[in-house]
Amino acid sequence: MPKILRVLNRLNVGGPTYNVAYLSRYIDTQYQTTVLAGIKESHEGSSEYILKDLGIDYEFVPDMFRSINPLKDFRAFKHIQDKVNEYRPDIVHTHAAKAGVLGRLAAYHSAHRPKAILHTYHGNVFDGYFSPLKTKVFLAIERYLAGISNAIIAISDQQKYDLVNKYNIAPADKVHVIKLGFDLDKFTEGNTEKRQRFRQFYNLADDVTVITITGRLAPIKNHFLFIDALAILKKDNPTLKFKAFIVGDGELMNPILQRIREYELTFSRANENNYDADVVFTSWRKDIDVINAGSDIIALTSLNEGTPVSIIEALASEKGVICTDVGGVGDVVKDGYNGFLCEQSAESYAGKLEELIVNKELKNRMAANGKKIALQNYSYKRLVAETQDLYKFLLD
């Protein structure tokens, strides 16, 4: 029975946890899987429930955190290396940046060398994260790691193009495109009742358009663009009835609140229950299907993105979507067909938001197209089948 060791950055809410969870739960029973995960940051929502709900056993790597710390990173490396020597996996599969560095190094430099080492990029840190000098260092590290890997997985065609041609991480024949996969059924079922429940709870009239954005309140997610666009929309269209919901938390909470105050918009923080506010913060929520059902438009304003999980879920929920045109977003959203793609411009973003609110026929047509795309391309069953085929190829 082939053994797989999966190493994941941390159990925070997002695509990597779902990827690891579905692969571990639904892969052919001929494979035995163990999961190692790093420690999430205090302000991040926990995704442990995803693994627990699927009955997946996992262990924490005590010193593996998102931030760089040479001493802790070395201890995390040793911990993973010890696990490789003890568990003796045939495959070590790492997910996301920190796990990709420490996990691949540990596997390659262990007494027990796995038959296959592979890594899935869930986005990258080469744009919008670090200074040019640090970025050059990280690129050099990633090129070395690609050299000791048997395969690289990109989660979109655009990401493969960037890894091969833009960043020169690895040759094209080593990079395999396997899109993310999710259990999208809950986003398609019972939406009428869910919508009613959500809107009654927040005292939302039928003619109020709800615009929702989900994600970490971190620089890369660029919530300031979202707030700037809302302010323009409200100033230019004072009679337009809309309300914004921000789902998530993070280190930029206070600066974002300050930006809202500067525009003289009102807000309600989680548990404040001031639902008449222009912007309502919910903190982290597990019932994204209910929030999507109650919303009309789902937004994304990232500076960089791999495959946008919140947007795939929004498409499955048959909602209007508006995104910045970055990373792998264009592989999911086709501008004008199943959503809008925008530049990093508050004026442009506000204009497209207004069009989605006012032109309901267009929004509904794009939402219907989006649902078809999501259900056809982002099933967890396809994810598992394609990954399993790659495992067989590497082991053979």
Whether residue 26 contacts residue 381, with contact meaning beta carbons closer than 8 Å, is answered with yes
Nearest Cα residue to 16 out of 107, 97, 125, 84: 97
Q: Where are the domains of the chain?
A: 3-181+379-395, 185-377
Tokens of 370: 């989006």
**pLDDT tens-digit readout, 327-359:** 889 989 999 999 999 999 999 999 999 999 999
| CA separation for the pair 38, 59 (Å, rounded) | 9
Answer whether CATH 3.40.50.2000 is correct for domain 3-181+379-395: yes
What pTM value is reported for the model?
A: 0.80
Q: Give me the residue label for tokens 């649902």.
A: 371
Q: What pLDDT score was predicted for residue 44?
A: 77
Same fold, 3-181+379-395 and 185-377: yes
- Name the fold adopted by 185-377: Rossmann fold (3.40.50)
Whether residue 248 contacts residue 284, with contact meaning beta carbons closer than 8 Å, is answered with yes
Burial class (CB in 10 A: 0-12, 13-18, 19+), 354: middle
Q: What pLDDT score was predicted for residue 129?
A: 60
Quote helix, strand, coil % in the chain, to nearest 5: 45, 20, 35
**pLDDT tens-digit readout, 232-254:** 999 999 999 999 999 999 999 99
| CA separation for the pair 320, 340 (Å, rounded) | 8
**370 contact partners, CB below 8 Å, separation of at least 6:** 314, 315, 318, 319, 321, 333, 338, 339
88-103 mean pLDDT: 96
Tokens of 218: 């971190």
**pLDDT tens-digit readout, 21-74:** 999 999 999 999 999 999 988 777 788 888 999 999 999 999 999 888 999 999
CA–CA distance from 247 to each of 279, 291, 293, 319 (Å)? 11, 9, 14, 16
DSSP string, 301-320: --SS-SS-HHHHHHHHTT-E
Nearest Cα residue to 249 out of 271, 233, 228: 271
Exposure pattern of 326-343 as b/e (b: 16+ CB <10 Å)?
A: bbbbbbbbeeeebbbbbe
**pLDDT tens-digit readout, 365-385:** 999 999 999 999 999 999 999
Evaluate if residue 7 carries a pLDDT over 80.
yes
- Rg over CA atoms, the chain: 21
Tokens of 14: 């997002």
Evaluate if residue 184 carries a pLDDT over 60.
yes
Q: Give me the residue label for tokens 């994600």.
A: 215
193-204 mean pLDDT: 97
DSSP bridge pairs for 116:
91
Evaluate if residue 127 carries a pLDDT over 80.
no
